[in-house]
Amino acid sequence: MQDTSFAIHPGNKKKLENTPYHDIGDLKEFAKEHNLYRFTCEQGFVNILFYRDDIVRIVMNPFHKPTMKSSFAVVAEPEIVKVKIEDKEDSFSLSSSKLQVMIQKSPFRVNFYDQEGRLLVSESEKGMGFKESKEVICFKEMDPEDHFYGFGEKAGFLDKRGEKLTMWNTDVYAPHNQETDPLYQSHPYFMTLRNGKAHGIFFDNTFKTTFDMKKEKEYSFAAEGGQIDYYVMAGPSPKQVLEQYTWITGRMPLPAKWVIGYHQSRYSYESEQEVRELVNSFIKKEIPLDAVYLDIHYMNEYRVFTFDRDRFPNPEKMMKDLKSVGKRIVPIVDPGVKVDPEYSIYQEGIRQNHFSKYIEGDIFYGNVWPGKSAFPDFTKSETRKWWGEKHRFYTDLGIEGIWNDMNEPAVFNETKTMDVNVVHENDGDPKTHREMHNLYGLLMGEATYHGIKNLLHGKRPFLLTRAGYSGVQRYAAVWTGDNRSFWEHLALSIPMCMNLGLSGVALSGPDIGGFAHDTTGELLARWTQVGAFTPYFRNHSAIGTARQEPWSFGPEIEKIIKKYIQLRYQWLPHLYSLFAQTSKTGIPVMRPLFIEYPEDRHTFNLSDQFMIGENVIIAPIIKPDTYHRVVYLPEGTWVDYWTDQIYEGRKHILVEANLETLPIFIKAGTMISHGSIKQSTSVPEKNMTIHLYQTESGESHYTLYDDDGETFAYEKGEYLEKQIRYQANGNVIKLTIENSVTGYQPTWKHWTLKVHHATPDLKLIINGKEVDAKDINFNTESNIASITINL
Ligand code: GLC
């Protein structure tokens, strides 16, 4: 070759390393088109559009006028926002009542201020840029006080300052550690906390994106292609950022009650007999259980939408029998369709043109569990509809929940996924897999969720997914993939789920006990304690590893695990009430302490404690052979859930916790609700108790929510919402109880109020009327006063 022209091939020359980004240069022209502001710069085009007073979107395209079509993540439509324009010599400003966008003209830079004139997001030396390779980047200044959260499913500590994070959905079997990045989900979104105030940025670019929060004075977000397309959310509180972000990308629908019960899984329960024996063991041992998962062995040679009739001779009867004892089955459905000309799904997929293809028309084939497989092109609405309808196979058997796995999509090859050169049809707007990769799991989720929802005739569907993109919370719960039975992974799962919650994914959880490797009794016990309070509570483990059903490590460990599964069921009314709020506000049930205490620096990177709602702190033990730990209690007075011991906050305390104890603290002056221990959520609740933790003085408010727990009737007002307002003054407690919505008659006819730390001279005034002292049952040993109240 060296004696041909190849000798002077340009590729033989050393490549320009670290090509700098081109700056988009100075502003040249401005135009307003309806509510859209268009800026033409020397080397790029920028559009600015207010979505609400507190949300603004910036789109930059270096090559041509930007498209304002947003990705599949976005469900919000821009509202009409009153914007004041000021055009000065060097700057240009657009202000709503909550946000001001200040544009410096030369060079073009954008800064964002809140209504009080506080600088939220700023550019100075560097702003937006691009490379000829089509990479785009946006630089922002970093304040010394900035802390960063969100980014979806990421390993490491809670605060992501000092990290560089990539968004590219990836099947990572091993390992998951601090530096394992990316994982299965892509949420190109983060929240900044600075001096007690928060704001958010959502970079809606579906290519591989990178967030560099590693530098001292600036951070950046960049993509391999596409546009700079980001939303600034003004906050100013962390909760408001969550409301804003989930307004853009959607919220988790209220899960059915069985979804938040205890779930048992294994790769795999391999036969009907094994499943029946498993369920019988739970029943015999009186360990609550709501769902059992069927991993890939239930299928006929891993063909989705089939059952292996040798292993599962009568799935319909099995489902029926299990349902009659309150247990549901959740089968796995992967996207890979086995290549087999005699298999109806493959035949239909080929005949109806549902599989992902190259531009030349050849189908992309990749190896997964069934061997050579084709992958539905979920970017086509027709294909999503087809796939969704196929789930009739499961719903006809009485199945209400589906588990989507390997939907990055995972492929057993060097790149771990589909060829990035595949061209997805995308309903007439074809795009490469390089651009659509991160959306594959989300779109499969949309297909599956809507498919089963249509087939369930009013029952709430459940979907669990491994892969996803921003907005996935609209369709699915997320489990955090193939972790290991390591204490480090128990620790890792806590900030990971908190950051998922901060990214809108309120229903998440890890494989309790760890997936790969052999768990130990102690690890399983401690992990189940945490699991009792993670939003999604499933024990799952891999083929060939130690069994990790609750009884696998002898009676002592079984007793502890049982106690915490039971505890979950007792807490369900409280958790369900919180889930109802999450579905309306986007604020997650499991949350980091800084959401409630954004001014308290001890909470900023607190990764081994979390809150359930506003007033409960969970501080688990996450190390072996450890029976005490330091717990941080923020401002307020805190009560130990188990002993009623009182602690003053703004302190680190040392607490003892033997293997049976998960440290839980309730803020004094607040309420939680408890139901009874039951074998599954299908057992109607008969006893409702509200625990009130008495304080000297103060006020609080509790909302108890209940509905039928399995249908969408609540959307038509068929639910109960009980508002309880509490005012304390010495020994006098005033309660105002109001059933603000009464469209549903709960299965409990009365409820018990338990006042902790009551005094014998307690005076209880309910809705203005003093309760007769003889109706108050005061326990002198526990100092708990109880009274029964009719609904
Ligand atoms: C993947 C999943 C895991 C599942 C296994 C077999 O590794 O992450 O949960 O058990 O596949 O389907």
- Report the pLDDT averaged over residues 381-409: 98
Among 173, 176, 267, 407, residue to substitute to test ligand 1 (most atoms within 8 Å of Cβ): 267
- 174 pLDDT tier (thresholds 50, 70, 90): confident
pLDDT digits (tens, 9 = 90+) for 32-64: 999 999 999 999 999 999 999 999 999 999 999
Annotated catalytic residue 608: no
10 pLDDT higher than 90: no
Query: Cβ contacts of residue 83 below 8 Å, gap of 6+?
Result: 35, 37, 50, 94, 95, 96
- Report the pLDDT averaged over residues 507-534: 98
Using a pLDDT cut of 90, give the percent of the chain over it: 96
Q: Report pLDDT for 777.
A: 96
Cα 47 from Cα 61, distance rounded (Å): 9
Q: Report pLDDT for 13.
A: 62
Annotated catalytic residue 482: yes
Residue that is written with structure tokens 């108890």 in the block: 704
- Report the pLDDT averaged over residues 725-745: 95
- 377 pLDDT tier (thresholds 50, 70, 90): very high
8 Å CB contact between 340 and 303 = yes
Residue that is written with structure tokens 């980047």 in the block: 137
Q: How far is the CA of 173 from the centre of ligand 1 (A)?
A: 9
Q: How far is the CA of 267 from the centre of ligand 1 (A)?
A: 7
Q: Report pLDDT for 4.
A: 84
- Report the pLDDT averaged over residues 447-457: 98
pLDDT digits (tens, 9 = 90+) for 752-775: 999 999 999 999 999 999 999 999
The residue from 482, 558, 707, 710 that is catalytic is 482
CA-wise closest residue to 335 among 393, 386, 374:
374
pLDDT digits (tens, 9 = 90+) for 260-277: 999 999 999 999 999 999
pLDDT digits (tens, 9 = 90+) for 133-161: 999 999 999 999 999 999 999 999 999 99
- Report the pLDDT averaged over residues 87-94: 96
Q: How far is the CA of 164 from the centre of ligand 1 (A)?
A: 27
Cα 791 from Cα 544, distance rounded (Å): 52
Q: CA 769, 771, 772, 774: dihedral to nearest 10 degrees?
A: 170
pLDDT digits (tens, 9 = 90+) for 558-587: 999 999 999 999 999 999 999 999 999 999
Q: Report pLDDT for 15.
A: 58
- Report the pLDDT averaged over residues 58-74: 97
Say if residue 239 is exposed, middle or buried (CB neighbours under 10 Å; 0-12, 13-18, 19+).
middle
> How does 649-684 read in b/e, with b if 16+ C-beta sit within 10 Å?
beeebebebebebbbbbbbbbbbbbbbbbbbbbbee
8 Å CB contact between 47 and 36 = yes
Annotated catalytic residue 408: yes
For the whole prediction, is pTM greater than 0.95? yes
Among 269, 480, 482, residue to substitute to test ligand 1 (most atoms within 8 Å of Cβ): 482
Q: At what angle do helices 272-284 and 315-324 cross, to 10 degrees?
A: 10
DSSP state letter for 63:
S
Using a pLDDT cut of 70, give the percent of the chain over it: 99
| Residue 239: φ, ψ to 5° | -65, -35
Cα 405 from Cα 302, distance rounded (Å): 13
Q: Give the number of other CB atoms < 10 A from CB of residue 84.
A: 10
Q: Report pLDDT for 790.
A: 87
Query: Looking at ligand 1, which atom is closest to the CA of residue 466?
Result: 8
Six-digit token pair at 545? Answer: 């590893």
Q: Report pLDDT for 14.
A: 59
Q: Report pLDDT for 16.
A: 55
179 pLDDT higher than 90: no
Pocket (CB within 6 angstroms of ligand 1): 267, 295-296, 332, 405, 466, 481-482, 540
Among 333, 406, 407, 536, residue to substitute to test ligand 1 (most atoms within 8 Å of Cβ): 406
Q: At what angle do helices 555-585 and 521-531 cross, to 10 degrees?
A: 30
List the beta bridge partners of residue 706.
720
- Report the pLDDT averaged over residues 446-475: 98
Q: How far is the CA of 172 from the centre of ligand 1 (A)?
A: 11
Q: CA 390, 391, 394, 399: dihedral to nearest 10 degrees?
A: -170
Q: Report pLDDT for 12.
A: 67
Pairing state of beta strands 401-404 and 328-333?
parallel
The residue from 23, 308, 405, 710 that is catalytic is 405
